[in-house]
A and B are shown apart, each in its own frame.
Chain A
Amino acid sequence: MSPFDRYLHAVLVRAEHEAREDGSSTVEAGHLLLAIAGEGHADTRRVLEPAGLDRAAVRAALDREFEHSLSAVGVSRAAHTLPRPSGRPAHPGMGTSAKLVLERGFAAVPRKKDLRPGHLLLGVLTAEVGTVPRALALAGSDRAALLAAVRQALTDPT
Chain B
Amino acid sequence: MPDDPIIPPPDTADALAAVAALRRLADQLEDAAVEQAMRGGWSWPRVAEALGVTRQAVYKKHARRLIAAGVELRRRQG
A68 to B14, CA, bound (A): 9
Judge if A73 is at the interface, Cβ distance under 8 Å.
yes
Is chain B's interface secondary structure helix, strand, loop, or mixed overall? helix
Interface of A is mostly: loop
A65-91 contacts to B (CB < 8 Å): 65-66, 68-70, 72-73, 75, 77, 79-80, 82-90
Query: Provided the pairs A23-B31, A82-B36 are in contact, do residues A88 and B65 lie with their beta carbons within 8 angstroms?
Result: yes
A104 to B: closest C-beta gap in Å: 19
Are A69 and B17 closer than 8 Å at their CB atoms? yes
CB distance from B8 to the nearest CB of A (A): 15
- By size class, the interface of chain A is 20 to 34
Once the chains are docked, how many angstroms separate the CA of A90 from the CA of B61? 11
Contact between A90 and B14, CB atoms less than 8 A apart? no
B14-26 CB mask vs A (1 if < 8 Å, else 0) is 1111101110110
Instruction: Please tell me which one of the listed residues B29, B31, B34, B68 contacts residue A89 in the complex, with CB atoms under 8 A apart.
Output: B68
How far does the alpha carbon of A87 sit from the alpha carbon of B21 in the complex, in Å?
19
Interface residues of B in 19-47 (CB under 8 A from A): 20-22, 24-25, 27-29, 31-36
